[in-house]
Amino acid sequence: MSEFALIDRFFKRVPRDAAVRIGIGDDAAVITPSAGMELAASVDMLVEGRHFLQGSDPVRLGHKTLAVNLSDMAAMGATPRWALLAGALPDEDPEWIAAFMSGFEALATAFNVELVGGDTTRGPRNLCVTILGEVPAGTALTRVGANVGDDVYVSGTLGDAAAALAGLTSRTRFEAETLATLRLRLEAPTPRVALGSTLRGIATSCIDVSDGLVGDLGHILEASSAGAHLSLALIPRHPAVDAKLAGPERSAALQWLLAGGDDYELCFTAPRATAGRIEALAKELALPLTRIGMVRAERDLVVDDERGRPLASLPRPFDHFG
């Protein structure tokens, strides 16, 4: 199949979104932005062998490729609208591409995101999505703005994805059912888009947890010129991760919980006075929002263990060049 036949068969579509005046098929997409909105733009690349294992399920990979980008929009409080997909593929395996696009499409449809362009080339498997979103002018959530005394929150549970990866690569063992659940969190994360946009006007700062809590909260603290005091006992986790934390695999479990990447939950700060609204929001979204500590003036990150003593050292965050 030629490059153009591939594009026609798998990527070209009639735009559903009236804002897309010109979609796939020309040299560039042409979009009418909404009045009063600012554009949020972000790009994320997934490389085989680095971000996903060779032989990963293509449907889930299609989901994840878009999900990680929607998560960046969520972290900004933006509504994702338009995506561009650049793919390097080792071969033109139509079954693989169809499966990949079914995962991508399902998530795009669920979030009303329109694929408006991309690029297709031969090469080592590599998927790259550019996402454009909209946010009311001046209201985007950022990493700057955490104030001393704010509460620190995270959504969902942390460490699931890293625990799954450890299980899949035989560094630990989980019961089959547990591993399947954790694996879904690794391979098909749910971007917290509704949470992000509702946090506009509530949260003072926000980030998505893609590289682990210590590193990502660290970015907020750095940008906000502050520190934080957390309690390990408060950090929400899957019961199977909790069980490992209490046993001989404690240091691995600490690593998953504090520095595991790929969870795509939101970490945010908010004034104590908004605690009631956040509690109500958690109920409304059916998503746990857990207070895990507080922002403080001393510019370091301290995590107390279960007995209230600071952990002597925190696991190092993941760094591609570290």
CA–CA dist 21, 32 (Å, integer): 7
Q: By C-beta, is 69 or 178 nearer to ligand ADP?
A: 69
Binding residues for ligand ADP restricted to 108-147, rule: CB under 6 A? 115, 117-120
- 39-78 footprint of ligand ADP as x/- string (CB under 6 A): ----------------------------------------
Given a contact cutoff of 8 angstroms between Cβ atoms, the answer to whether 289 and 155 are in contact is: yes
27 binds ligand ADP (CB under 6 A): yes
7 binds ligand ADP (CB under 6 A): yes
85 binds ligand ADP (CB under 6 A): yes
What type of residue is 135?
V
Among 87, 167, 191, 293, binds ligand ADP (CB under 6 A): 87
How near is the Cβ of 89 to Mg ion at its closest, in Å? 14
CA–CA dist 152, 267 (Å, integer): 7
93 binds ligand ADP (CB under 6 A): no
Partner interacting with residue 120 (select from Mg ion, ligand ADP, none; CB below 5-8 Å by kind): ligand ADP
The residue range among 21-29, 196-204, 208-216, 261-269 that interacts with ligand ADP, by the rule CB under 6 A, is 21-29
Given a contact cutoff of 8 angstroms between Cβ atoms, the answer to whether 215 and 281 are in contact is: no
Residues 6+ away with beta carbon under 8 Å from 93 = none
Q: By C-beta, is 85 or 182 nearer to Mg ion?
A: 85
82 binds ligand ADP (CB under 6 A): no
Q: By C-beta, is 28 or 35 nearer to Mg ion?
A: 28
95 binds ligand ADP (CB under 6 A): no
CA–CA dist 319, 39 (Å, integer): 28
24 binds ligand ADP (CB under 6 A): yes
CA–CA dist 88, 120 (Å, integer): 6
Residue 92, Ramachandran bin (φ over 0: left; ψ between -120 and 50: alpha; else beta):
alpha
What type of residue is 99?
A
DSSP string of 206-271, one letter each residue: EEEESS-HHHHHHHHHHHHT-EEEEEGGGS---HHHHHHHTSTTHHHHHHHHHH-----EEEEEE-
Partner interacting with residue 174 (select from Mg ion, ligand ADP, none; CB below 5-8 Å by kind): none
94 binds ligand ADP (CB under 6 A): no
26 binds ligand ADP (CB under 6 A): yes
CA–CA dist 29, 215 (Å, integer): 36
Among 1, 25, 34, 50, binds ligand ADP (CB under 6 A): 25
Residue ranges in contact with ligand ADP by CB under 6 A: 7, 11, 24-27, 85, 87, 115, 117-120
